[in-house]
Amino acid sequence: MLSLATPSSPPLTQGGSTASSVALLRGAAARRDAKLTSAVHAALLKSGALHPAQPLPASNSLLHAYLQCGLLSRALRLLDETPRRDAATYASLISAHCRRGAPMDALRAFLDMLEWGAGGAADQAEDDDTVRPNEFTAAAVLQACGLARDGRLGRMVHGYLVAGGFCGDPFVVGSLVNMYAKVGDAASARRLVLGSPCRDVVSWTAIISGCVLNGMLEEALEVFVMMLEDGVLPNNVTMLSVIQACSLMGASELFGPVHALVVLLELEDDASVVNSLIMMYAKNGFVEEVMRLFNGAYLKSGSLCSNEDVLAAILYGCTISGYQKNGEGIHAHLIKMGAFPSIGIENSLMGMYARFEQVDAVHLVFSGMEAKDIVSWNTIISCLAKSDHVNEAMELFSVLHAGGGGLAPDFVTILSIVQACSNAGLLHQGQMLHGCIMKSGFIYDVSICNALISMYAKLGRIDFAEMIFERMDTKDLVSWNSMITAYGMHGDGRSALRIFNQLKDAGTPVPNAITFVSVISACSHAGLISEGYKCFESMRMDHGIEPSMDHYACVVDLLGRSGRFAEAEEFIRDMPVPPNSSIWGPLLAACQLHGNVDLAEKAANELSALEPESDIWRVSLANTYALAGRWKDAAMIRTEMRRVGLRKETGWSFVDVGGVEGFKFVSADTGHQEAEKIYSVWHSMNKHMADLAADVHKLVPISTV
C-alpha cells in the first residue's frame, strides 16, 4: 500500500478509484500543492490509470494540477507522454500560458491543438472529435489575443470561430467582446454587444474596462451611457472602471453624479468602490470629499483602511491641495492604527511634508523608517537641497553613493544633486559630482547632461557647458535651449545665435516657444537689437509660433536696454493683448538704467494698478528718482513703503569656501558663525577685482545706447 496521506486529504491506496484521484488533484490544484500532485502522479502511474486506453479525466486533472502549481516543464513533459488529448487538455494549457503572461505560447498551443485535431496523432481514434475546440478553448485563445494586444490575430480567431459556429454561445460572445475591448477596438466590441440577444452587465463591463485599459476614456463613458440607456444596471466592477475613467480624465463635473450613482446602487459598503472614489477625489485635489469618505469608512468599520495605494492617494490629495492640517491628521490616524512600517505610506508622508517645506518632519519620518528604498532617499535629498540645507543633502548623497543605504543613486538622485549644486553655487562639488556621473554611466542620460550644462553655465564655467554639449551623442530640444540660455547668461549673444542657427539647420528637433524666449533674451543681454527683433518676427512667420507675453516682454527688454524707448512704447501699444506686469517691469528697469524718469513714472503707475502690494516697482522707481537727484521723491516712496508695512526683501549671497563648504550670508553680516571664512574669501575677491581693474579699458558693454 502506498500512503499519500496529508493533514488535509485521505490516504490513496494502489487500488483506489480514478474518481478519488481526480478529486485529490482538484484539491491539490486549488491549494497549489505541488507535493501532493507529484504523489498522486506516482500513484496513477503505478495503478495504470494513465494508460492510453484509460479515460482522459485523470491525465487532464493531473495536467491542470501541475499547471496550477506553476510546474510548466512537468506539465509539458506529461503532455508529450500523453498520446490522447481533448479540448479540456488544451483549455488548461492555453489558460496556463495566459496566466503566466505568455500569450504567444498560448496561441502556439491553440495551433498545436488544430494540427492535432487534423490528424496529428496516430493513436487518436478517427471518429473521436473531442480534440476540436469548444467554448472553453475558444475563450482561452481569445484571452491570449487580448493579452497580446493583437487585434489582427483576434480578428483571425474570430473568423475561425464564426466558421465553426461558436458565436451563438453567450460565453464565447462575452470573450470576443473582452478581446476586442483589450485590443482597443471598442467599435467591434460595441457591435457584438448590440447584436447579441444577451446584453448583460458582464458584456458591457468588458467593453468599458477594455476602453479604460487602452486609454479610451471618453469612449468608456459613452459605452457606460449606452449601457444605462439599454436598461442594464452596472455592478461594482463596472463602477470601478467608470470611476477610474473619470479620475484619469480629471472630469470633475462627473465626480458628483458618479458618486451619487454608487449610493443609489447601494455600493457604498463595497470597500473597493469606496477606495476608488477616495483615490478619484484625492488625485484631483478634492480633499474635503476625501476626508468625508475616509471618516465615514473609518466610523463604519472602526478601523483604518489598510490599502496602501488609497492611503498614499489621500496623502497626495492633501499635498497638491495644500491641506497640511488634514495630512497631519491622517498621519496621526496612521500612527494610532499601527500602519507602520510601510515604505509606500512613509514615502508619501515624506513627499507631503517636503511639499509643505517641513524639513524636520521629513527628517523625522526618514529616520524612523525600518527599511528605505531609493524613493525615500531621493525625497529627503531633494527636500534638503530645495530648503537651503545643501551641505546636508550632499552628505546624505555621499552616504548613499558609498553604499550606506544598500542602494545606489538613480537618475532622480543625480538630478536633484546637480540642481542643488547649481542653485547653491557649489562649483567644486558640482565637478566632483560630474566625475561620479561619468563613472556611473549617467553621462549618457540626456536629462542629466542638460542639467550639467545649466549648472556649469550658472556657475560661470561656460567652457565646461560647451564641452558637455558638444560631446552629447543625442541632443533633445532642452539641450539646445539650455545651451542658448547659457550663452545668454554670459552675454555671448553671437554664440547663442550660432547655436540657434545650428538647431534650425539640423531640422530636428524644431525650435519651440521656449527656444525663442532664450534666443531673444540672449540678444537683449548682448545688445544685439536687430538680430533679436528678427528672431521675434521669424517666430510666427517661419515657425508658426504665436508670441506669448514672455516673448513680448523679451522684446520690450531688448528695446528698453538699448534706450530705444519710443520704439518700446510703440511696440507695447501695438500688442494684440493688454500688457501686464511682465511688460511694464522690464520697461521700468530700463528706465532706471537710462534715467528716464517720465517713462519710469508711467510704467510704475501701470504696475501700481496691476500689483498694488508689490515692493519691487516701488524700489525701482525710488532708485530711478535717486539716480536723477530727486531725493525728496525717493524718500517719499520709502516712507510710504514703511507706512504700509512693505519692505524690500533682503538680498543674500552664497560663497564657496575652499571648494568644500558653501555658506549663505546677507550684506554686512558680521554675526554669521562662519564670518571669518566668508570675509577671507571676500577680501581675496576684492584683491583679484582690483588687479582686473587695470585692464578695465579692454571690457566692452553688453548693451549699446
DSSP letter string over 347-383? Answer: HHHHHHHHHTT-HHHHHHHHHH-SS--HHHHHHHHHH
Distance between CA atoms of residues 587 and 622, nearest Å: 15
Distance between CA atoms of residues 537 and 522, nearest Å: 16
Q: What is residue 182's predicted lDDT score, i.e. its pLDDT?
A: 80
Query: With 80 as the cut, is the pLDDT of residue 270 above it?
Result: yes
**For the segment 207-228, what is each residue's pLDDT rounded down to a tens digit?**
788 788 777 888 889 889 988 9
Mean of the pLDDT values across residues 62-67? 76
Q: What is residue 209's predicted lDDT score, i.e. its pLDDT?
A: 81
Confirm if 298 and 333 have CB atoms less than 8 A apart.
yes
Evaluate whether residue 660 is within a structural domain: yes
Q: Which of 213, 211, 221 is nearest to 188 (CA)?
A: 211
Mean of the pLDDT values across residues 509-526? 94
Identify the weakest region by mean pLDDT among 50-54, 152-156, 343-347: 50-54
Mean of the pLDDT values across residues 128-143? 74
Q: What is residue 684's predicted lDDT score, i.e. its pLDDT?
A: 72
Measured between its terminal Cα atoms, the distance across the chain in Å is: 109
CA atoms lying within 13 Å on the CB side of residue 478: 10
**For the segment 368-412, what is each residue's pLDDT rounded down to a tens digit?**
888 888 999 999 999 998 887 888 888 899 888 887 777 888 889
Residue with cell 536687430: 530
Q: What is residue 669's predicted lDDT score, i.e. its pLDDT?
A: 57
Evaluate whether residue 54 is within a structural domain: no
Evaluate whether residue 691 is within a structural domain: yes
Q: Which domain holds residue 664?
A: 652-705
Per the structure, the count of domains in the chain is 1
Evaluate whether residue 670 is within a structural domain: yes
Higher pLDDT, 299 or 14: 299
Q: What is residue 18's predicted lDDT score, i.e. its pLDDT?
A: 66
Evaluate whether residue 658 is within a structural domain: yes
Q: What is residue 157's predicted lDDT score, i.e. its pLDDT?
A: 83
pLDDT band for position 125 (cuts 50, 70, 90): very low
Evaluate whether residue 394 is within a structural domain: no
Mean of the pLDDT values across residues 336-362? 83
Evaluate whether residue 124 is within a structural domain: no
Identify the weakest region by mean pLDDT among 336-340, 349-353, 518-522, 688-692: 688-692
Count helices and strands in the chain by DSSP H and E runs: 37, 2
45 φ, ψ (degrees, to nearest 5): -65, -45
**For the segment 531-541, what is each residue's pLDDT rounded down to a tens digit?**
999 999 999 89
Evaluate whether residue 698 is within a structural domain: yes
**For the segment 434-484, what is each residue's pLDDT rounded down to a tens digit?**
998 998 888 899 999 999 999 999 998 999 999 999 999 999 999 999 999
